[in-house]
């Protein structure tokens, strides 16, 4: 039971097509692993599992290459078996080559280091799961991003902040779980898409988790780190900025205090004695009531650098989050704009951060909405390492009860041109370090997994985790190709499954956007848990997340001319585009401008008519998702078919709640009727 749901995209389903199976078998009867390490061992284990499951044969393990077979090797062990130009390979890169000469017929997977071999192994298995031809492989792959990370928002009591797939696989009742097999399977899943770092506890570090850096718990952290290490994944911890007070017997956490500095240096040394390759600290400071350097009149560079100095001797790094804003705002005050906050705090500090600090910046200036502008901080700090943070867990995008495939959204963000160094300065080039030659850089995200048998609550939400990893490896992959790969591995190579599921996934973000908050204005959700419609849920609250709808119009004026001046934080090309009503793109109109309901969009319809239209369409399309899925009955195993069907039906129902609440709200505010006279409740 749960076999397929649990295996996610590592199904390794038996290959029924005998011709293909026979072809694959010529390379899969024996396996030679040249080199010896935990990571090589993982690669070998995975191949044996994949091959035996897909082909029903157990490859012989050989100590040297046979006439035909599979060979895994690293730079130091390949000798002159084949020619690989290692100058083209990064540390995590690999080459896969099919070599045929006379009787010889071998596939080589060669990495510069063992991690490359593991990634190459997963690549080969991906090809086999998608039934690709292996006859003439000549592949060279390097990851575009250096750090490819996940953040677990797991608490030690077993809960997960913004988790929608059960409880933590790491912790339960304030202890570590003993679910090492499950953690290993998670490591396999994420390593298979190239993830190489993980922070294993929530950025909100409460009492219990503050103790993760004390000796009793470090032993346990080291065990988990050992599991991840075998899959090339480095372990990080989120730390409490005020640890010196909480667990250090000091009365201050002032970053310029020498006792504080000393305490962290000793702490770092202690941590590294347990975990020699520990990654470093993830820090949420002076953000949403978390402690930070502001208490002592110091800035974020002071705080981050103090930790960076402690980690420096061990090559550790500090991932310092930029999610800093006033969360006790007064809704009456229209001059304070939460969107401005990160830039206002951090931009003036450019050049002051140590080289082993990375600023971790959310994709947008607000908070992972279905649509918002791209954070203007990207590219704005030439002398500072920057890392992009996405949210795979669907906090504001349907909480894994609604289908919302986020790869198309992430692609748009990565491809957004910041103009930091003129045209062609896309976000992806800022965060891969190529634009400003940064020492550290990359992409991270809040994970969407829990201990549900299918990992992600909604089985189709597995695609978000998969797609995130693939994009961190290579942001230039198209959404379509990532989607195809995922479906092939998850559901097999049935053409109609591929076509229909791909259509569903690729449309789902747009569908979700249609029936929820319109034109980039965001929120309109129930406070605290953030599920379901509540147009004024946050309107008179302290969080700085307002839409300002009145009887005449709606939207946040963030222009320089009449609003909060936020548009000026972008480089000129974008600042001009957003500042002007004429050039501001429709989908972000209400993020940047306050307009009358009768304002005409570029699409030709008025704002109010757009709201009505999209909300009716969104529900129709959510219903179509159910219809489409029903066509796949008998093409997908019963459990996953039923699970997904239930979720899609729930979504279709709940989308009506959204539609009716939003339409009625705006009809009541504006008094303007739907031109098409559809049902709006009074």
Residue numbers annotated as active site: 288, 367, 395
- Site size for ligand GCU (CB under 6 A): 9
Does 162 contact ligand GCU by CB under 6 A?
Answer: yes
Residue nearer to ligand GCU on the CB measure, 53 or 326: 326
Residue nearer to ligand GCU on the CB measure, 362 or 610: 362
Q: How many residues does the chain have?
A: 682
Does 134 contact ligand GCU by CB under 6 A?
Answer: no
Q: How far apart are CA 25 and CA 54, in angstroms?
A: 10
Q: Which of 150, 191, 166 is nearest to 9 (CA)?
A: 191
Residue nearer to ligand GCU on the CB measure, 9 or 543: 543
- The least distance separating ligand GCU from the CB of residue 583, rounded to whole angstroms, comes to 31
Q: Which pair of tokens denotes residue 509? A: 């973000």
Q: Which of 394, 396, 392 is nearest to 366 (CA)?
A: 396
Does 209 contact ligand GCU by CB under 6 A?
Answer: no
Does 27 contact ligand GCU by CB under 6 A?
Answer: no
Largest Cα separation within the chain, whole Å, is 81
State the DSSP H helix or E strand holding residue 52, giving kind and residue range, or none if neither. Answer: helix 38-55
Does 286 contact ligand GCU by CB under 6 A?
Answer: no
Residue nearer to ligand GCU on the CB measure, 202 or 451: 202
Q: How far apart are CA 418 and CA 33, in angstroms?
A: 45
Q: 590 phi and psi, to 5 degrees?
A: -80, -10
User: Which residues between 228 and 257 bind ligand GCU (CB under 6 A)?
Assistant: none
Residue nearer to ligand GCU on the CB measure, 185 or 395: 395
Q: 459 phi and psi, to 5 degrees?
A: -60, -35
Q: How far apart are CA 128 and CA 126, in angstroms?
A: 5
Q: Which of 648, 239, 182, 642 is nearest to 450 (CA)?
A: 182
Does 12 contact ligand GCU by CB under 6 A?
Answer: no
Does 161 contact ligand GCU by CB under 6 A?
Answer: yes
342, 344, 346, 348 alpha-carbon torsion, rounded to 10°: 170
- The least distance separating ligand GCU from the CB of residue 532, rounded to whole angstroms, comes to 15
> Using an 8 Å Cβ cutoff, are 320 and 360 in contact?
yes
Q: Which pair of tokens denotes residue 596? A: 């009358």
> Using an 8 Å Cβ cutoff, are 48 and 159 in contact?
no
Q: Which of 120, 109, 108, 35 is nearest to 76 (CA)?
A: 35
- The least distance separating ligand GCU from the CB of residue 410, rounded to whole angstroms, comes to 17
At which residue do the structure tokens 């829990």 appear?
450
**Helix, strand, or coil here: 37?**
coil
Binder among 7, 203, 308, 465 for ligand GCU (CB under 6 A): 203
Residue nearer to ligand GCU on the CB measure, 203 or 652: 203
234: Cβ–Cβ under 8 A, 6 or more apart, which residues? Answer: 196, 197, 198, 225, 228, 277, 278, 279
- Cβ of 272: how many Cβ atoms within 10 Å? 16
Residue nearer to ligand GCU on the CB measure, 121 or 400: 400
At which residue do the structure tokens 């501001």 appear?
584
Q: Which of 104, 131, 119, 109 is nearest to 24 (CA)?
A: 131
Does 323 contact ligand GCU by CB under 6 A?
Answer: yes
**Helix, strand, or coil here: 184?**
helix
- The least distance separating ligand GCU from the CB of residue 486, rounded to whole angstroms, comes to 26
Q: Binding string, 382-401, against ligand GCU, x = CB under 6 A?
A: -------------x------
Task: Return the HEC string of 392-450.
Answer: CCCCCCCCCCCCCCCHHHHHHHHCCECCECECCCEHHHHHCCCCCCCCCCEEEEECCCC
- The least distance separating ligand GCU from the CB of residue 284, rounded to whole angstroms, comes to 5
> Using an 8 Å Cβ cutoff, are 139 and 111 in contact?
no
- The least distance separating ligand GCU from the CB of residue 153, rounded to whole angstroms, comes to 7
Does 367 contact ligand GCU by CB under 6 A?
Answer: yes
Residue nearer to ligand GCU on the CB measure, 302 or 367: 367
- Angle among Cα 454, 457, 461 to the nearest 5 degrees reads 90
- The least distance separating ligand GCU from the CB of residue 204, rounded to whole angstroms, comes to 5
Q: Which pair of tokens denotes residue 247? A: 């667990």
Residue nearer to ligand GCU on the CB measure, 45 or 162: 162
- The least distance separating ligand GCU from the CB of residue 661, rounded to whole angstroms, comes to 21
Q: Which of 381, 118, 80, 331 is nearest to 228 (CA)?
A: 118
Q: 233 phi and psi, to 5 degrees?
A: -110, 125
CA 617 to each of CA 369, 504, 514, 552, 624: distance values in angstroms, whole numbers, following the listed order: 20, 15, 7, 24, 10
Residue nearer to ligand GCU on the CB measure, 162 or 182: 162
Binder among 130, 204, 257, 474 for ligand GCU (CB under 6 A): 204
Does 284 contact ligand GCU by CB under 6 A?
Answer: yes
Q: Which of 283, 288, 300, 172 is nearest to 236 (CA)?
A: 283
Handedness of CA 81, 82, 88, 94 (dihedral sign): negative
Residues forming contacts to ligand GCU in the complex (CB under 6 A) are 161-162, 203-204, 284, 288, 323, 367, 395
């Amino acid at each position: 039971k749960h076999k397929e749901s649990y295996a996610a995209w590592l199904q390794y389903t038996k290959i029924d097509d005998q011709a293909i199976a026979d072809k694959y078998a010529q390379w899969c009867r024996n396996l030679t692993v040249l080199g010896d390490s935990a990571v090589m061992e993982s690669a070998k284990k995975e191949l044996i599992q994949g091959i035996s499951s897909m082909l029903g044969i157990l490859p012989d393990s050989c100590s040297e290459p046979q006439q035909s077979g599979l060979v895994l090797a690293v730079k130091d062990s390949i000798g002159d078996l084949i020619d690989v130009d290692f100058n083209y390979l990064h540390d995590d890169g690999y080459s896969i080559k099919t070599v045929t000469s006379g009787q010889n017929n071998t596939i080589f997977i060669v990495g510069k280091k063992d991690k490359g071999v593991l990634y190459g192994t997963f690549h080969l298995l991906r090809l086999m799961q998608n039934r690709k031809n292996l006859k003439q492989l000549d592949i060279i792959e390097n990851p575009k991003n250096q750090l490819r990370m996940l953040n677990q928002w797991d608490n030690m009591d077993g809960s997960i902040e913004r988790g929608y797939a059960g409880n933590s696989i790491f912790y339960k009742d304030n202890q570590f779980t003993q679910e090492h097999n499950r953690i290993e399977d998670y490591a396999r899943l994420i390593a298979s898409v190239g993830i190489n770092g993980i922070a294993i506890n929530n950025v909100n570090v409460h009492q219990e988790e503050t103790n993760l850096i004390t000796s009793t718990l470090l032993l346990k952290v080291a065990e988990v780190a050992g599991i991840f290490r075998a899959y090339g994944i480095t372990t990080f911890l989120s730390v409490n900025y005020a640890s010196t007070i909480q667990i250090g017997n000091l009365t201050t956490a002032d970053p310029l205090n020498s006792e504080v500095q000393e305490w962290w240096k000793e702490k770092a040394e202690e941590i590294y004695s347990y975990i020699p390759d520990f990654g470093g600290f993830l820090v949420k400071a002076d953000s949403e009531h978390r402690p930070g350097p502001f208490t002592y009149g110091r800035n974020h560079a002071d705080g981050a650098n103090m930790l960076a100095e402690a980690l420096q001797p061990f090559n550790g790094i500090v991932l310092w989050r930029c999610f800093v804003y006033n969360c006790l705002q007064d809704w009456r005050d229209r001059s304070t704009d939460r969107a401005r906050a990160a830039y206002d705090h951090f931009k003036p500090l450019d050049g002051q951060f140590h080289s082993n600090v990375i600023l971790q910046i959310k994709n947008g200036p607000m908070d992972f909405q279905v649509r918002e502008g791209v954070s203007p901080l990207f590219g704005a700090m030439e002398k500072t390492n920057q890392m992009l943070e996405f949210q795979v867990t669907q906090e504001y995008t349907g909480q894994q009860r609604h289908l919302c495939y986020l790869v198309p959204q992430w692609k748009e963000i990565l491809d957004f041109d910041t103009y930091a160094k003129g045209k062609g300065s896309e976000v992806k080039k800022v965060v891969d370090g190529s634009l400003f030659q940064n020492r550290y850089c990359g992409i991270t995200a809040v994970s969407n997994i829990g201990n549900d048998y299918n990992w992600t609550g909604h089985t189709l939400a597995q695609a978000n985790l998969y797609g995130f990893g693939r994009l961190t490896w290579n942001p230039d992959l198209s959404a379509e190709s990532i989607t195809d790969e995922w479906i092939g591995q998850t559901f097999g190579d049935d053409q109609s499954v591929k076509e229909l599921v791909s259509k569903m996934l690729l449309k789902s973000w747009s569908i979700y956007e249609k029936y929820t908050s319109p034109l980039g204005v965001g929120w309109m959700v129930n406070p605290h848990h953030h599920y379901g419609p509540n147009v004024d849920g946050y309107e008179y609250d302290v969080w700085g997340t307002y839409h300002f709808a009145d009887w005449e119009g709606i939207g946040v004026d963030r222009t320089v001319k009449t609003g909060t001046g936020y548009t000026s934080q972008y480089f000129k090309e974008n600042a001009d585009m957003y500042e002007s009503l004429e050039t501001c793109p429709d989908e972000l109109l209400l993020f940047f401008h306050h307009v009358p309901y009768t304002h005409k969009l570029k699409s030709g319809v008025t704002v109010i008519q757009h709201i009505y239209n999209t909300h009716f369409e969104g529900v129709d399309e959510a219903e179509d998702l159910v219809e489409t899925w029903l066509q796949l009955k008998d093409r997908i195993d019963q459990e996953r078919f039923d699970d997904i069907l239930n979720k899609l039906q729930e979504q279709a129902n709940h989308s009506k709640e959204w539609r009716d609440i939003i339409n009625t709200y705006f009809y009541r505010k504006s008094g303007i009727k739907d031109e098409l006279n559809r049902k709006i409740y009074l």
